[in-house]
Amino acid sequence: MDRIHDHALTGIERLEYELIVRDFVGVLNDGSDDELVAFLHPDVVYRASSTHTVAGRDSVIDLLQQVRVAFEEIHYCILNAAVSGHVVLVEQAIMTNLCAGKLFGTCRSPVFE
């Protein structure tokens, strides 16, 4: 009986980890930096690639703000999720909409003469 209980608890824990990540993505889509703080450890490290690392909660939030400003619209969508222990791996789609005439972080309307 205890073994079945342990497996069920592990399944519930895995689901909770996945739901936390889904909540994080929802807050990310809403654009609320204040709410993002609750999801990120002060010493969080984000590795976008082997050559690009951002360390610290404030720096990660600054990066997310830069990404948000770079696009007229941005929306993250989780396609699939897998959980192993305390790790949640997600396959995601990022849908973006660029402004016309985007230049150095500002949106400019095209000019027709």
Convert the pLDDT of each residue in 24-70 to its tens digit: 999 999 988 899 999 999 999 988 778 889 999 999 999 999 988 88
Buried b (16+ CB within 10 A) or exposed e, 58-87: eebbeebeeeeeebeebeeebeebebeeee
Cβ-contact 30, 74 below 8 angstroms: no
| pLDDT in the model for residue 5 | 59
**Residue range 85-110, pLDDT digits in tens:** 888 899 999 988 876 554 444 444 33
**Structure-token pair, residue 86:** 């305390």
